[in-house]
Every structure is written in C-alpha cells, then in structure tokens.
C-alpha cells in the first residue's frame, strides 16, 4: 500500500532554533513530493515541490531534500520564528496515481517566542 | 498570480437545502480538483477535472455534483447532505498535459467551511 508517514505529529521549539521535519513514503516510484503549510482553518500553501529527479529545493529559510532510495524527505527550517507555527503536510504523487496526491497526516509545529 | 479563490468562505445549510461552492483561478491551469478535509486529517481527493472533463471521481456520493463550466471555474453542487459531510472543502489547480496526468504543483484555495445541520 502506498502511504506517507510524518512523525512526530506535533513539535514545539523555541524561537531561533533550526529544525527538521521528516516525511517517509513506502514506494520509490514517485513523480514528485510536495511540502505544504496549513494554518488553522485555512487552505494549503505550497512551500516546495521536488521532482523525482531532484535531490533538494530551497526557498528562503526552507530547504527540502529527497532521497528516493530510502523513501525519505526532510524539510529544514532555519532560524525558526513564531510565524512559522502551522501544520506542515508532505504529499507524494506516486507514478500511476492519476494526479492523486497521497498526504501524510501532517506535523503541527509551534515556535515559542 | 498564483491565487485560487473560493466562495463562500463559510456555509451553513440544512439537509434539505441545495447550495453550490465556487472556485476560480486565472493561472491558465487546465487541471482542477476538489478535496474534502475533516478536522485534524489530511485532505481527501474527491474529483479531478482535466481540460474541463471529469477525469477522476473518487467514489463520491451523488449528493455531491461537480461542474466545470469553463477553464477558469469549478463548481461543487450540494444537495441533501448529511451532518457528516461537514468539513473544509478545498479547491486546487495545476498545469495539465493532454498526453499525461498532471504532475505539477497543485495550488490550493483558502477553502469553504461547510456545516450541515
């Protein structure tokens, strides 16, 4: 079964800390992997998309990596700020998935001032 | 412009009502999606339209009826819903290719918070 797992479900860190959010997937046959941010009661904001041929993508303080052989992706957030508090969702587009993203359950991040 | 807009933001309806959710994008995307998201759960795909044609229906009950009147608009018509249909309904869009399924970044709207009484 093609699944996406994000552990832990919640994380609390002090402001300024560099942190890593993990995502694991069960099948290496993927088109791409996408990281989203969701604020409470809001829609999803696309942060980074990594194609299957890529190893990492960067945007500002965010860096996402992809290791298909181990079925893992990480989202690195540098110098965290209280405004980074949100739920971070990892989603994988598996080959043959007909445009259907497989989402993890998300990691709820709280950055303490 | 990477914006997907959805109206209304909030909707409360009775089980006998008929209502519609609307989604609009002007990014030239030809793939549009409806998702349903329950509290503290990830989004679940409901429908996919590609070039204004329904390409995926994830076994959604017929009380949900999608419509794609043109390349910029996506509607979700609601009729005879149940309380368990209360959720955040998200619309998304992405680039599409006629030769293969869309594998591009999906851009999401802010959602419609639906409450069924």
**Which residue in B42, B56, B101 is closest to A104 by CB distance?**
B42
pLDDT value of position B2: 64
Return d(Cα A68, Cα A51) in angstroms, integer.
11
Return d(Cα A99, Cα A97) in angstroms, integer.
6
User: Which of A34, A41, A24, A8 has the alpha carbon at shortest distance from A109?
Assistant: A8
pLDDT value of position A97: 64
For B37-54, write each residue's pLDDT tens digit. Answer: 999 899 999 999 989 999
How far is the alpha carbon of B42 from chain A, nearest alpha carbon, in Å? Answer: 5
Q: Which residues contact B71 (CB under 8 A, 6 or more apart)?
A: B28, B29, B30, B51, B52
Cβ contacts (< 8 Å) between A98 and chain B: which residues? 48, 55-56, 101
Cβ count near A113 (within 10 Å): 7
**Which residue in A31, A43, A100 is closest to B108 by CB distance?**
A43
- Which backbone phi and psi does B111 adopt, to 5 degrees? 95, 160
Rounded to 5°, the CA angle A7-A103-A13 comes to: 35
Q: Residue B110: is its pLDDT beyond 90?
A: yes
For B67-98, write each residue's pLDDT tens digit. Answer: 999 999 999 999 999 999 999 999 999 987 76
**Which residue in B42, B50, B56 is closest to A106 by CB distance?**
B42
Please tell me which residue of chain A has the smallest CA distance to B100. A98
Return d(Cα A86, Cα A91) in angstroms, integer.
16
Task: Give B41-68 as a DSSP string.
Answer: S--EEEEEEETTEEEEE-S--TTEEEEE
Cβ contacts (< 8 Å) between B42 and chain A: which residues? 89, 91, 103-106
Give chain B's mean pLDDT. Answer: 91
User: Which of B110, B33, B19, B108 has the alpha carbon at shortest distance from B68?
Assistant: B33
For β-strands A86-94 and B73-79, DSSP reports them as unpaired
User: If you ran DSSP here, which 8-state letter would residue B106 be given?
Assistant: P
Residues 93-112 on B with a CB inside 8 Å of A are 94, 101-111
Return d(Cα B117, Cα B113) in angstroms, integer.
13
Residues 35-94 on A with a CB inside 8 Å of B are 36, 41-46, 49, 89, 91, 93
Q: Residue B101: is its pLDDT beyond 80?
A: no
pLDDT of chain A, 113 residues: tens digit per residue: 789 999 999 999 999 999 999 999 998 888 899 999 999 888 899 999 999 999 999 999 999 999 999 999 999 999 999 999 999 999 999 886 667 889 999 999 999 99
Please tell me which residue of chain B has the smallest CA distance to A48. B105
């Amino acid at each position: 079964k093609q699944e996406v797992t994000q552990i832990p479900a919640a994380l609390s860190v002090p402001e300024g800390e560099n942190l890593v959010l993990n995502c694991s997937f069960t099948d290496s046959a993927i088109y791409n992997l996408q990281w989203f941010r969701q604020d409470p009661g809001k829609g999803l904001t696309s942060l980074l998309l990594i194609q299957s041929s890529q190893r990492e993508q960067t945007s500002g303080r965010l860096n996402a990596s992809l290791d298909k052989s181990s079925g893992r992706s990480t989202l690195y957030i540098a110098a965290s700020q209280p405004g980074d508090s949100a739920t971070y969702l990892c989603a994988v587009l598996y080959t043959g998935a007909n445009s259907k993203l497989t989402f993890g359950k998300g990691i709820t991040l709280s950055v303490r001032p | 412009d990477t914006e997907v807009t959805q109206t209304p933001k909030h909707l409360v309806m009775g089980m006998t009502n008929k209502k519609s959710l609307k989604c609009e994008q002007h990014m030239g995307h030809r793939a549009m999606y409806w998702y349903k998201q329950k509290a503290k759960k990830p989004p679940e795909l409901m429908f996919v339209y590609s070039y204004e044609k329904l390409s995926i229906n994830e076994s959604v009950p017929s009380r949900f009826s999608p419509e794609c009147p043109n390349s910029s608009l996506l509607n979700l018509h609601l009729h005879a819903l149940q309380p368990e249909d209360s959720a955040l309904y998200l619309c998304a869009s992405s680039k599409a290719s006629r030769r293969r399924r869309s594998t591009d970044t999906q851009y999401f709207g802010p959602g419609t918070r639906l409450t069924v009484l």
